[in-house]
Chain A
């Protein structure tokens, strides 16, 4: 009797929570539905969740294969996100290895400095970074953006915490076998750190993919735009065409949602590792 009662309240909460979560993602459902509509049907009220006339193919064609180089924006986003993520993983894991496992005088100071400067808001250093990038001749290049995105105190910290948990015996026995530090890093540390590397990689990829501010400031030519700037450009071209805007938004969002749903454990773990321990 008691158990049944408990289950009943659980059921009610589940139903309430379902309704709430659907309301919560209604903007995204609306986006998908609008992206498949004829323009004249988009703003009809009450909302037709299922389009009366499907215009999906046309909208898709217009966004992806027409005047606006959307494919190029997509490619730029992939390029920036992949390179920035790989660089971050390499530099952060190398630094983390040194911070966690190697005896180097002064590394404690370096670590302390990283920790205390993690609080610097990115925007507080935007002006000098812009001047430096101009001076280096990297303004309006992908290299400049990648340079801005490839160092991360946050991921170095996460990886250091993880590596602190790796037993020293692994390293000591490799040393006895005559392995150099580089081999210890590449053949022992990196494989052991696969979980944190995967998590960090996914999160960094998502952040770079969504980054708007850096490209906005460091890029000028539209051929170099990644997706967020592409969407902004797209809005200037098709300002009043909501269905096309929604198709563009769908194109930017849906692949990421699919990746997230597949890898949700890693993403959520990665977010919480930093959260609870930070």
Chain B
């Protein structure tokens, strides 16, 4: 209040404590804001523009041609892209629920039923902090079709037609899903654990007095109380499953015969191997729209669950 009165006295002066704070506030914000505008927001719209053009980077800007929706209609007939889309959906449909269920069960067990809780937290978290490429190198040896320990083990168990995993067009994507679930599990478990610590013990004690068994307590207390954590994890896990790339680039290059290709791999190949910037941008926007679509569906779906 006192400040405003002094400002009133010198109305003509634009340089007052208020404007000073505003200018300095923007100076502090400027580098980050500029960085984000130039490196995230502008490129998003630039790629929307590019997606309506046919442009091979090699030709320079002069070669850029406006072709309207042709890139998008072309995608509908592009068998590689459709395969990628199908793989992405399959990947998400399996790894997200499976990973989250395992992580939730593990978190509940580690939270309530074991000694040395912190040790288990660390052990399960280790794969998450490992370099995906280094870990992929390890798994590619483990999945080796003839000599790898995994197939040796399966053969010892009596299986005769063991899959060739990463070099097998039916199993490549499955092998990659195994690695992806393995690597993300620790992260998901840690987030669930953080959610679990916020559930009050009183609820369980009250339920015990009412004679609820372990499963009932899990179903009627733990699950509903974890709803917001589960929503957060569902969204982040779905998004990251759409972005799977490192494992695929390093292990299979989308192969064999495009059997394990995914959208980001298509973007990479069209954009940075073939330099078809327009076509790659169209695929980027499909990825972006998919992410938004899935996020909003999950959001609406879970919000409805909550109100019911």
Contact = CB atoms under 8 A, between A and B. Distances in A.
Pairing of A with B: yes
A97 interface: yes
Contacts of A31: 138
Interface stretch (B4-12, B65-73, B74-82, B128-136): B128-136
Interface string A118-131: 01111111111111
B122 interface: yes
Interface string A21-57: 1001101101100100000001101010000000000
B29 A98 contact: yes
A264 B122 contact: yes
Interface string A188-229: 000000000000000000100110110011000000000110
B256 to A, nearest CB: 17
A235 interface: yes
A256 interface: yes
A84 to B, nearest CB: 12
Given A102-B25, A127-B271, A268-B121, A275 B194 contact: yes
B287 A10 contact: no
Contacts of B94: none
Interface residues of B, number: 95
B135 A27 contact: yes
Contacts of B33: 95, 110
Contact of A181 (B21, B185, B288): B21
Interface in A73-114: 91-92, 94-95, 97-99, 102-107, 110, 113-114
Given A126-B267, A276-B195, 18 more contacts: A9-B113, A25-B126, A27-B138, A28-B127, A30-B138, A91-B35, A98-B28, A107-B26, A121-B239, A124-B284, A131-B277, A148-B39, A181-B24, A212-B250, A227-B131, A235-B137, A246-B137, A275-B191
19 contacts: A14-B116, A43-B147, A98-B28, A113-B36, A123-B264, A123-B284, A124-B284, A125-B44, A127-B271, A127-B284, A129-B39, A206-B129, A212-B133, A232-B250, A246-B141, A248-B137, A268-B190, A271-B190, A272-B191
